[in-house]
Structure 1
Amino acid sequence: MAVLLAVLGAAVLHAAWNAMAHGVPDRLGGFALLALSSGAVAFVTIAITGLPPAKAWPYIVASLLLHVVYYAGLVVSYNLGQFSQAYPLARGTSPWVVAVVAIVFLHQHLVPLELAGVLLISAGLIALVFIGGRPTRSQSPALLAAFGTGLLIAAYTVVDGIAVRKVPLASYMGWTFALQNVILILFVLWRRGLSFLRVEKRYLYAGLGGGLVSLAAYGLVLWAQTRGALAAIAALRETSIIFGALIGAVFFGERFGPKRAIAAAVVVTGITLIALG
């Protein structure tokens, strides 16, 4: 139960920091602010923990590269199509792919209820793709890019899940976050200089606060991966999309609608099955 609550808490936090980033008009600058605050905490962490063991570096480098390519995949997906279709497909693809990898290659056991829960959560999230209507052929490139992004999410999820069972959690998380954020901040400095810091205070606080929330969400998921089944945790984490839609409806006046309600009900059923499994 502790693992279930930790991952659902991480999903709520993930939705919250995305909502905070959503409030910053300059998206690229907002991500730089996120990286600034979470990176600062990460550098404090590695100052305390020191260098990780040598066996941790292949996982850190693999996770770093996969995350960088993942961010690029998100940008391509969003440039080719609508966020409302690309993001649910990317996040909904990941859980069932992780389940296949965990069962076939990592020999992790899932009871039937857990497996059914994972598949229901994936189905509920992917169903969100069709809220705006059936995708047309012209949208195929965007959907293919989103599917590829989902495979990247599955890949770094598996890498992280293996790593935290073999290397110290704090050290792994600290170095992974520190290196990722250095790359992101350097990229923004190259594109924008220091202009991302010249924003209204409310946006500055939202961006910096979002970074701390994102760090907490990531830490909860990594902790859960040391104790629970990788596929179930991956599926539960992606419920952040539903929490994000609820936050949008409550705080931003966005329409939730009956179709989202049905998809949310499917996801909640999946969560229930995982809890009972």
Structure 2
Amino acid sequence: MSETFTPILLCLLSAVTVATANFVVKRGGDVLSARMVLALTSALGMLPFAFFVPLPEPGLWPPILMAIGAHLIYQFCMIRALHRGDLSLVFPVMRGLGPMMTAIFAVIVLSEYPGALGWLGLSLAAAALIVFALPERATAKARKLNQTALVWALLTSAGIGLYSVTDAYGVRVAENKFTFIVWLFLLDWIGTTAVTVWTRRGQLVARLRPQLIGGLIGGVASIVSYGSALLAFSMTSAATVTAIRETSVVFGAILGAVFLKEGFGKRRIAAATVLAAGLLLLETDI
């Protein structure tokens, strides 16, 4: 029982903290600069652990580099989505479709095949999460902007599926799974930082200063979130981890309701109920 319950707790912890990280990044305004601070904070926070884990064995470097590439694709698409749409619009779409994308990639790469109930649960969960993104009302200009944001959110969901599978593969083939986790964090900041320094040149300090507090909070939350998810990847299927982790949209909606005064509404309560049912079906099928 505890072997099943532990990865579920890790996934729920990951869900709460990933929602927190995305909330503080979006609230900061300049998403790219905030992501740079977040990535650097995560790397610095993980640095002490590098002295307590073995160095990556030669065969682990290709999975680490593949994972870093997948994370860079995901972060690029996510930054574009958050710049072009409200958190309450793009976050549910990109996280809601993530489990479906992960399941598809897991079939191809990891040979993980959910059964009929698993696919039904994934479909229900994805549909419920997308309901969070349906706008109440919008002008023609807002709808045009939303369409662009949704395209990037869809691409972000593909990035989630890609990095979930590469990370699951890496943590499973590593002789010491903590080596993979630590070194992924230690190197993951390079791409985002390089892009930020290049695009914000001449105004980098001014852009970074307002993002420091949010980025620091997000960095700590990111360590907890993805560290928990990577541990869960080593205990259960990638699709299960991603599906439970994407309950983060519920926590994101709660953060929006409390701090941004966004209404939760009957529609989102109903969607959360369907989401729970979908995840229950998935867990029953695994």
The aligned residue for residue 20 of structure 1 is: 24
SS in 1 for 2:172: coil
The aligned residue for residue 215 of structure 1 is: 223
Question: What RMSD in Å do the two structures reach over aligned CA positions?
Answer: 2.7
The aligned residue for residue 117 of structure 1 is: 121
1:57 aligned partner, one-letter code: W
Q: CA deviation at 1:183?
A: 3.0
User: TM-score of the superposition, structure 2-length normalised?
Assistant: 0.83
Over residues 71-116 of structure 1, what are the superposed CA-to-partner deviations in whole Å (9 max), with x where a residue is unaligned? 2212333455554333322222221122233345533243544433
* Residue number among 89, 94, 101 corresponding to 2:93 in the alignment: 89
* Residue number among 4, 29, 43 corresponding to 2:8 in the alignment: 4
CA contact (8 A) 2:34 2:208 kept: no
CA contact (8 A) 2:99 2:239 kept: yes
Per the alignment, do residues 83 and 91 of structure 1 end up closer, same or farther by CA in structure 2, a change over 3 Å counting?
Answer: same
1:58 aligned partner, one-letter code: P
The aligned residue for residue 132 of structure 1 is: 136
Q: Percent identity?
A: 31
The aligned residue for residue 264 of structure 1 is: 272
1:266 aligned partner, one-letter code: V
Matching of residue 152 in structure 1 with residue 159 in structure 2: yes
Q: CA deviation at 1:269?
A: 1.6
The aligned residue for residue 162 of structure 1 is: 169
Structure 1 gap segments, 5+ residues each: none
* Residue number among 250, 258, 269 corresponding to 1:242 in the alignment: 250
Stretch deviating more after TM superposition (10-19 or 228-237): 10-19
After superposition, residues 23-42 of structure 1 pair within 5 angstroms as 23-42=27-46
Q: CA deviation at 1:246?
A: 1.1
CA contact (8 A) 1:52 1:172 kept: yes
Distance across 1 between alignment mates of 2:252 and 2:261:
12
SS in 1 for 2:114: coil
Over residues 212-269 of structure 1, what are the superposed CA-to-partner deviations in whole Å (9 max), with x where a residue is unaligned? 1211110110001111121111111111011110122133322111222221121122
Stretch deviating more after TM superposition (232-241 or 253-262): 253-262
Per the alignment, do residues 213 and 83 of structure 1 end up closer, same or farther by CA in structure 2, a change over 3 Å counting?
Answer: closer
Distance across 2 between alignment mates of 1:79 and 1:21:
11
Distance across 2 between alignment mates of 1:134 and 1:96:
28
The aligned residue for residue 193 of structure 1 is: 204
Stretch deviating more after TM superposition (87-96 or 135-144): 135-144
Per the alignment, do residues 16 and 75 of structure 1 end up closer, same or farther by CA in structure 2, a change over 3 Å counting?
Answer: closer
CA contact (8 A) 1:4 1:275 kept: no
Matching of residue 225 in structure 1 with residue 233 in structure 2: yes
Per the alignment, do residues 184 and 161 of structure 1 end up closer, same or farther by CA in structure 2, a change over 3 Å counting?
Answer: same
Structure 2 gap segments, 5+ residues each: none
Over residues 144-173 of structure 1, what are the superposed CA-to-partner deviations in whole Å (9 max), with x where a residue is unaligned? 332222112101111111111111222212
CA contact (8 A) 2:168 2:233 kept: yes
2:40 aligned partner, one-letter code: L
The aligned residue for residue 254 of structure 1 is: 262
CA contact (8 A) 2:103 2:161 kept: no
Q: CA deviation at 1:185?
A: 3.0
1:234 aligned partner, one-letter code: T
Distance across 2 between alignment mates of 1:76 and 1:209:
21
Per the alignment, do residues 79 and 207 of structure 1 end up closer, same or farther by CA in structure 2, a change over 3 Å counting?
Answer: closer
